[in-house]
Amino acid sequence: MSKQKQKQVHQVHVPQAAVTKSFFLWQDWAVVGVILIATYLTFSVVRDFSFVNWDDDRNFYENQLITSLNKENFWKNTKQIFKEDVIGNYNPLSIWTFALEKRYYGKGNYNGLESPGDWHMTNVMLHLICTFFVYLIGRKLGLKLWGAAFMTLLFAIHPMRVESVAWVTERKDVLYGAFFLAALYQYIRFKQGPDTLKLISILLLFVLSLMSKIQAVALPLAMLAVDFLMDKKLDVKKALKKWPFFLISFLWGLMGIYVLSKQGSLDTNDSTFPFWQRIFIGSYSYLVYVVKSIIPYQISPLYPYPPEMPAYFYPTILAVPVVIWLLWKSYQNNWFIFGFSLAFFTVNIVFLLQVLGAGQGFIADRFTYIAYLGIFFGLGYLVDKFSERKGFLYPVLGVALLLTGLMAIMTSRQLKIWENSGTLWTHVLKYYDKTTLPFGNRANYYRSQKMYDLALVDYDKAINLKEDPQTYNSRARLYFDTATDSTRLLLALRDYNRAIQLKADDGEFWVNRGATFARLGQLESAIDNINTGLKLKPDHETGYLNRSVLYSALGARYGAGSAEYGKYTLQAIKDLDEYQKYRPYNGDIWYEKARMKRTLNDIGGALPDIERAIQLDSAKGIYYYERAIIHNLLNNKAQARADLQTAGSLGFTSIDPAVNAAIMN
């Protein structure tokens, strides 16, 4: 027997990819429909979930480009969103979807953001789109009906999917996934019938995926894995033709590393390991991801770095030569399915193994969102193979259904963790109670819910584990918010002092200490601290607001009409102008500016400010009362009377009798 014949005897059977237009039959529609319904029912509980205090704040509900957005500044904010990174991540398309939601879901809680369930359901809808494309890809790559169904069900309801779907911040996962999978599907179609339009669509989808999440840089390598499966070989010429994709990936990756380093997001973990040790962190993480694809054990939103490198991390480096050897053997022996599955998983996870050390954890469930498609494809192929054997169909389908049912149950339980910040961090603490982050974040949640005693316990535990300036700052805010006398204010002052001792270059700490001095009646010290804070952090919007209040209070000491009153009031107005650069759509600020300008006899400047306040919120009687006073000073009696009546009809009752007499007579 020749070597060529020997090779043919031992090669793995590969299902041929369907090339006809009718590859998607009514049975496919029925199967994928059931999968999508099951997925929707599994994840729809997120409609009742809140936002969480883990990056949701900085990504959208405290992101001034989102909170200030309305129809007037939509395109201006959109332009800025595409110019900036958020927490060291440049994913503007994902952030822009938050802007769209803010625009259409209206005003309310969360600094103008309401209905958290709607934001969650957007993630669910995007996950359904990804699920549909996974099924299409499975069928296009040759899986039969039940193999594609098993692969897609695993992708859709695996417990490791929960983080990507239930965490609003991870919009970037399901959004980049939708474009990535659509591009991959188009590439498969392109291979079956090349044309320019398909190629352009692949490039466009690739760029949109990159703008959603940098993880999309793996697409060109994923395309090579598809080449191996479909062409039964790796063609160097075809690989070279992908140079535009590789160039875009390379440049985008360099930009991502630059942004991370500029924002200080590299090596943000509590324990910084040298590069040679980080390689072992990567190999250990790789094996954990493989195991969790089959046995999703101890799933946590956070996997903090160990304080020291555990000894069992070192042997995992053997995974590197083993994986390389398996990939080589797959190529050499034509193990097309195995080679594709291993290669697709590896190229989509390798850039996320934290060798560079970005983030607070060395493992993250969300990193597997696309990568697991490779492993699940291999499992789907096994379902097809075993179900073809006589008498095996129903037992195989029964086992597959049992496994996916167990996964669905685990996913349902895992989803409850993301209900709110309290449930989230309580779950993390089940496994990692020697880490400060979950204690501090749960304490912040308790404080926001006015559960002050529980919050104080968690702050104390976090500080006992490690003195951290931000935790002192947070505990000080609790003392400040709950102070009814000087006792708690002095406790807040003590914590702010310690925070500044540990990190003197954080402007927020100085601004907060200034606010504490203000409540203690030490206005000059308060202004000095806020001045220092704003020098260190010129974009601290609350600092400008607080300082304007202090200047206004200092002016009130001297009385309207005095030179000192004029000086301090002008400074207060200037600070409000600065504050409005960040929050231009707060009617109360426009009202305050109008009131101050009126007391300085700047009636011409006061009128447009109060007009703007009324334009922003026409339901506040006090705004109409102020405009009535201004119109009266301008001798617009009819308008003044109309505004005074409107103020009363809106429930404003604190009308000065002298003002009423001056206007109505």
Long-range pairs, 559-564, Cβ under 8 A, ≥24: 560/599
What is the predicted pLDDT for the residue at 10?
38
What is the predicted pLDDT for the residue at 393?
85
Q: List residues bridging with 266 in a β-sheet.
A: 358
The yes-or-no verdict on residue 412 having pLDDT over 80 is yes
In a domain, 74, yes or no: no
What is the predicted pLDDT for the residue at 523?
92
| Average pLDDT for 28-42 | 95
* DSSP-derived 3-state class of residue 266: strand
In a domain, 542, yes or no: no
**Structural domain of 173:** 24-53+115-416
Q: What is the CATH number of the domain that holds 613?
A: 1.25.40.10
What pLDDT digit, counting tens, does each position of 590-622 carry? 999 999 999 999 999 999 999 999 998 899 999
What pLDDT digit, counting tens, does each position of 281-327 carry? 999 999 999 999 999 999 999 999 988 899 999 999 999 999 999 99
- Please report, rounded to a whole number, the percentage of residues in the chain having pLDDT higher than 90: 76
The yes-or-no verdict on residue 8 having pLDDT over 50 is no
Q: Which of 416, 446, 461 is the last residue of a domain?
A: 416
Alpha-carbon distances of 226 from 244, 351, 607, rounded to whole Å: 18, 19, 67
What is the predicted pLDDT for the residue at 264?
57
In a domain, 558, yes or no: no
Question: Do strands 361-363 and 303-304 pair parallel, antiparallel, or not at all (unpaired)?
Answer: antiparallel
Structure tokens at 289: 């991801």
Distance CA 91, CA 256 (A): 10
**Confidence bin at 17 (pLDDT 50/70/90):** very low
Q: Which of 371, 386, 416 is the last residue of a domain?
A: 416
User: What's the half-sphere exposure (Cβ side, CA atoms, 13 Å) at 23?
Assistant: 19
Question: How many domains does one find in the chain?
Answer: 2
What is the predicted pLDDT for the residue at 359?
66
What is the predicted pLDDT for the residue at 160?
96
**Confidence bin at 16 (pLDDT 50/70/90):** very low
What pLDDT digit, counting tens, does each position of 226-250 carry? 999 999 888 888 889 899 999 999 9
The yes-or-no verdict on residue 458 having pLDDT over 60 is yes
What is the predicted pLDDT for the residue at 391?
80
Among 356-360, 427-431, 521-525, the range scoring the smallest mean pLDDT is 356-360
**Confidence bin at 449 (pLDDT 50/70/90):** very high
| Average pLDDT for 574-589 | 91
What pLDDT digit, counting tens, does each position of 154-166 carry? 999 999 999 999 9
Residues 6+ apart with CB under 8 A from 343: 221, 224, 225, 228, 327, 330, 374
What is the predicted pLDDT for the residue at 367?
95
In a domain, 492, yes or no: no
| Average pLDDT for 6-16 | 42
**Confidence bin at 1 (pLDDT 50/70/90):** very low
What is the predicted pLDDT for the residue at 23?
65
The yes-or-no verdict on residue 268 having pLDDT over 70 is no
The yes-or-no verdict on residue 21 having pLDDT over 50 is no
Distance CA 52, CA 449 (A): 13
What pLDDT digit, counting tens, does each position of 51-96 carry? 999 999 989 888 888 887 877 888 999 999 998 888 888 999 999 9
**Confidence bin at 456 (pLDDT 50/70/90):** very high
Q: List residues bridging with 361 in a β-sheet.
A: 304
- Please report, rounded to a whole number, the percentage of residues in the chain having pLDDT higher than 70: 93
**Are the beta carbons of 319 and 313 closer than 8 angstroms?**
no
Q: What is the CA radius of gyration of the chain?
A: 30
What pLDDT digit, counting tens, does each position of 51-62 carry? 999 999 989 888
The whole-chain average pLDDT of the chain stands at: 90
What is the predicted pLDDT for the residue at 288?
96
Q: Which of 394, 416, 438 is the last residue of a domain?
A: 416
What is the predicted pLDDT for the residue at 629?
95
| Average pLDDT for 142-147 | 94
The yes-or-no verdict on residue 13 having pLDDT over 80 is no
**Are the beta carbons of 157 and 408 closer than 8 angstroms?**
yes
Q: List residues bridging with 363 in a β-sheet.
A: 303
| Average pLDDT for 362-377 | 95
Alpha-carbon distances of 268 from 90, 327, 354, 554, 644, rounded to whole Å: 17, 34, 11, 42, 57
In a domain, 274, yes or no: yes
| Average pLDDT for 615-642 | 94
Q: List residues bridging with 304 in a β-sheet.
A: 361
In a domain, 453, yes or no: no
Q: Regarding predicted confidence, which is higher, 343 or 269?
A: 343
Structure tokens at 254: 């360099």
The yes-or-no verdict on residue 97 having pLDDT over 80 is yes
In a domain, 480, yes or no: no
| Average pLDDT for 552-560 | 90
What is the predicted pLDDT for the residue at 235?
82
The 3-state secondary structure of 88-148 reads CECCHHHHHHHHHHHHHHCCCHHHHCCCHHHHHHHHHHHHHHHHHHHHHHHHHCCCCHHHH
| Average pLDDT for 24-38 | 92
What is the predicted pLDDT for the residue at 585?
81
Distance CA 578, CA 545 (A): 8
* DSSP-derived 3-state class of residue 304: strand
| Average pLDDT for 254-270 | 66
User: pTM of the prediction?
Assistant: 0.87
Among 264-273, 325-334, 587-596, the range scoring the smallest mean pLDDT is 264-273
What is the predicted pLDDT for the residue at 18?
39
What is the predicted pLDDT for the residue at 266?
55
What is the predicted pLDDT for the residue at 107?
55
**Are the beta carbons of 272 and 351 closer than 8 angstroms?**
no
In a domain, 265, yes or no: yes
